[in-house]
Structure 1
């Protein structure tokens, strides 16, 4: 069974930006793409557990603020070293201006 959780309002995220979302002792990152699409990944870099929501978001990539590893936040694919392990991704939807994430 999918558990949809309201993470934030769409307006809380700048276009080509990210915010941190914590739920049940886990950290996630919610991204808003250049086309206003919304995506969710695990919130910590797979290289050294740094919060990705603090990183640079451009196009459909997020860059880790510590060592500049990069990920495609749509797929979780690690794009640049030192990140070499992909991020987990989660389905998202926008309902009445709120961003919901499928967790579980």
Structure 2
């Protein structure tokens, strides 16, 4: 459930997610079609953010609106986004053949 308290944190959540994505304030402002000053005012909660801007911000930051509204959801998103992906090892055809041969020999 949401209450009006989450509205007080939107600006801070936007700033937190923007910084986690390593996007500058000016860059995000340009992507969503507002001035850097207006972006600063949004992040400092000096102005109200419209649903239209929330949608644009979420699209640029590749997050859900929920993560802009809820500080815990924002933190979870950042932790997941920063989690290293497991390395994917690619083997050559020759390496696969050698491995299969080794398995064949050891299974006898």
Using the size of structure 1 for normalisation, the TM-score is: 0.32
The structure with the largest helix share of the pair is 2
* Structure of larger gyration radius: 2
TM-score (norm 2): 0.31
Greater fraction of residues in strand: 1
